[in-house]
Amino acid sequence: MRFIVLRWFAGGRLFSAAVATVLACTGGFAAAATTPRYGGTLLVELHAPSLVLDPVKWKIGAPEYAASAQIASVVFDRLLTLDRFGRFQPALATEWSHDAGWRRWQFSLRSGVLFSDGSPLSTADVAGALQELLAEGSPGKAVVTAAGTHVVVQFPSAVPDLLEQLASQRYFIYRRAADGALLGTGPFFVKEFTPAPSGTTIARYRLAASEHCWAGRPFVDALDVNVGVPVLRQLFDLQLGKADVVEVSPDLVRRAAQENLRVWASAPVSLYALQVGADTASPGKGGAAQLASAKVGLGEALSLALDRATMANVLLQRQAEPAASFLPQWLSGYAFIFSSASTMGMGNNVARAKEISGPLFAGASGPAVASPTPLRLRIDAGGDLAKLIAERVAINARQAGIPVQVQPHSLTRDASSGNAASGEKTAETAGLRLVSWRYSSLSARAELDAMVATLQIDKAADEKEKSVEDAEQLYARERRLISERELIPLVVMPEYIGLGAEVRDWMPERWAEWHLADVWLDGKRTAGSSAGAQR
């Protein structure tokens, strides 16, 4: 059995606190601008209409839960974290090990950890939370048991990337109260929720600093999180000093820069892709083989028709990157191979696209695809950006002789809800669909599996084709998925965060995991507040 044992007695926040204490004791007023201060309320504005702090309810890959995950990360802790150098750092777990087959994992819990209500964290709490979260997770049917100060996770098959998964996604540790409310061990806890007044969309969560957080008290006294704030208003609020941390839409990044606002960009964390559904082929015009062939042909024509470079560099003003693969370079490590357009037929070649699409839309002479009526392109995500990309896809497709009509998000949502209710149609059978995918896992394999499962692609593959044990197999699988063109990657986009002038020590991970507990506020807003609070 191979063991990995890592010990880490001070988290990043603890270290920062120590530095702050030392600096404060030295009384170096000249260094006040760089000396962390306690106190103040950090004002955060989010576009999401509400927060869902129960990780079990999150849909993997859904962008609408990204904001919830950011706030959840200050309420709950994970067993371990990954630092910016790719090293696992202990959090609630101080030690971990696994057997030779990567099936049995054992975690030793940190002692003296308290929930926000003051009750101690137990191995049963950890086991309960993990059991809930792993029940439907990609690792398979795990059995989580509490054994003394250890928690043991047993998988039916090898899960070599469990640590990457537990350090990301929704694998937070919590205790579910009898009324369904969740308690966390994080640096903040939800103190108050103010629903949106009638006529507005903005609701407010007030999170107070937890005085007995195992990693130490956060610098700011509270987080005021306003949700449902339009992106443009967030920018105005940032300019006016009414907000400290806001989301900046990619199309507003240049504007923010022109206004001399601080904007932080993550690594690409959102993928926009085009899913070619099954009903783009007309069932009355041919057999299954012909339909499959026609669908591949349509996918190929669309892939060649799409001008990703213009999409990313002109339309999205260089705030996005053309995507040739499903997983980004920072996650997979091999995405640059797909960037060579000629290898995968991902380059913009309208003439070739027309050649392919011509017979498909020629009616009787074509094999099977589509009626003369335009293909409907549904948009999964709301917002102007998704609409803009979808419209560009439609224009590119029309240039290649493929009639495509964009279906607004509201209609898509209605249709989706209707379909979900009736259970008649799945995502796969929905014509063209603009998919917005938010990377949430630090495991490339888990991310790809989640994408495949959620988007219901690669159904024809057998278990052998799906099984991935190393990076080479993962690359082969992704390459096969790309060549099948059920899902055509378009662009990947970073997350942009606007920061107020008083925000200090904003040091998130490059995969867009914020560390709000490390942030402190400089300036008058901290004066008179709990500046004397000690960690």
Partner 1 sequence: MSFRTKLFLVFLITVLASVSLVAYGVTHYTQAAFEEMDAQRTDALVAQFQKEFAQRGDEVVHQVENIANAEITLRMALDLARPNADPSLYVHDATGAAQDHGLDFVEFVNADGTLISSAQYPARVGYKSEWVTAEKDWKDSKAFLKKEELPDGVALSLTVVRTLPVGDKNFYIIGGRRLDQNFLASLVLPAGMRTLLYRNVEPGFVPSALTDAGGEVAQADRFAPIIERIQRSSEPVVQTVNWTTNPADAETFHANGLTGRSKELLGVLLVGSSRRELVTLTTHIFEIAGAVVAAALLVGLLISLWVAARITKPVEELADGAREVAAGRWDTHIRVRGSDEIGQLAGAFNEMTLTLAEQKERLVQTERVAAWRELARRLAHELRNPLFPMQITVENLQRARQLEISSSWKFLTSPPPHCARSWRI
Give the residue with the Cβ less far from partner 1, 392 or 504. 392
- Regarding 239 and contact with partner 1 (CB under 8 A), the answer is no
Give the residue with the Cβ less far from partner 1, 144 or 302. 302
The single-letter code of the amino acid at 265 is A
Nearest to 218 by CA among 526, 528, 523, 509: 526
Nearest approach in angstroms of CB 399 to partner 1 is 8
Nearest approach in angstroms of CB 159 to partner 1 is 43
Contact criterion met (CB below 8 Å) for 153 and 105: yes
- Regarding 141 and contact with partner 1 (CB under 8 A), the answer is no
C-alpha distances in Å from residue 514, one per residue of 85, 327, 497: 16, 21, 10
The single-letter code of the amino acid at 431 is G
Nearest approach in angstroms of CB 242 to partner 1 is 23
- Regarding 313 and contact with partner 1 (CB under 8 A), the answer is yes
Give the residue with the Cβ less far from partner 1, 56 or 341. 341
- Which of the ranges 18-26, 131-139, 169-177, 249-257 carries the binding residues for partner 1, by CB under 8 A? 249-257
Nearest approach in angstroms of CB 352 to partner 1 is 19
Residue 413: CB atoms within 10 A of its CB come to: 14
Nearest approach in angstroms of CB 388 to partner 1 is 6
- Regarding 356 and contact with partner 1 (CB under 8 A), the answer is no
- Which of the ranges 66-74, 87-95, 102-110, 309-317 carries the binding residues for partner 1, by CB under 8 A? 309-317
Alpha helices in 229-339 (DSSP H): 231-240, 253-258, 288-305, 308-310, 329-332, 335-338
What is the distance, to the nearest Å, from the Cα of residue 168 to the centroid of all Cα atoms in its chain? Answer: 10
Give the residue with the Cβ less far from partner 1, 406 or 497. 406
- Please state, in angstroms and rounded to a whole number, the distance separating the CA atoms of residues 357 and 302: 8
DSSP assignment string, 319-364:
SSEE-SSSS-HHHHS-HHHHT-HHHHT-S--HHHHHHHHHHHTSGG
How many residues sit close enough to partner 1 to count as binding (CB under 8 A)? 20
- Regarding 282 and contact with partner 1 (CB under 8 A), the answer is no
- Please state, in angstroms and rounded to a whole number, the distance separating the CA atoms of residues 131 and 139: 12
Nearest approach in angstroms of CB 404 to partner 1 is 11
Give the residue with the Cβ less far from partner 1, 374 or 508. 374
Give the residue with the Cβ less far from partner 1, 295 or 392. 392
- Please state, in angstroms and rounded to a whole number, the distance separating the CA atoms of residues 129 and 149: 16
Nearest approach in angstroms of CB 491 to partner 1 is 13
Look at strands 375-379 and 432-438 and give their pairing: parallel
Residue 147 DSSP symbol: E
**Residue of 66, 129, 225, 315 interacting with partner 1 (CB under 8 A):** 315
Nearest approach in angstroms of CB 438 to partner 1 is 23
- Which of the ranges 214-222, 293-301, 316-324, 438-446 carries the binding residues for partner 1, by CB under 8 A? 316-324
The SS3 of residue 281 is strand
Phi, psi of 94 (to 5 degrees): -105, -25
C-alpha distances in Å from residue 200, one per residue of 228, 410, 452: 9, 19, 37
Nearest approach in angstroms of CB 263 to partner 1 is 16
Nearest approach in angstroms of CB 380 to partner 1 is 17
Residues from 380 through 439 that contact partner 1 (CB under 8 A): 387-389, 391-392, 394-395, 406, 408
Phi, psi of 198 (to 5 degrees): -60, 135
Nearest approach in angstroms of CB 315 to partner 1 is 6
**Residue of 254, 466, 480, 510 interacting with partner 1 (CB under 8 A):** 254
- Regarding 318 and contact with partner 1 (CB under 8 A), the answer is yes
Give the residue with the Cβ less far from partner 1, 114 or 350. 350
Contact criterion met (CB below 8 Å) for 45 and 229: yes
Site string for partner 1, 171-210 (x = CB under 8 A): ----------------------------------------
Give the residue with the Cβ less far from partner 1, 348 or 526. 348
Residues sharing a CB contact under 8 Å with residue 22, sequence separation 6 or more, in sequence order: none
Nearest approach in angstroms of CB 211 to partner 1 is 47
What is the distance, to the nearest Å, from the Cα of residue 442 to the centroid of all Cα atoms in its chain? Answer: 10
- 81 burial (CB, 10 Å; 0-12 / 13-18 / 19+) is buried
- Which of the ranges 72-80, 310-318, 426-434, 466-474 carries the binding residues for partner 1, by CB under 8 A? 310-318
Nearest to 404 by CA among 287, 305, 314, 292: 305
- Which of the ranges 146-154, 207-215, 247-255, 265-273 carries the binding residues for partner 1, by CB under 8 A? 247-255
Give the residue with the Cβ less far from partner 1, 114 or 388. 388
143-147: strand order across its sheet: 93-98, 104-109, 150-154, 143-147
- Regarding 317 and contact with partner 1 (CB under 8 A), the answer is yes
Residues that bind partner 1 (CB under 8 A): 251, 254-255, 307, 310, 313-318, 387-389, 391-392, 394-395, 406, 408
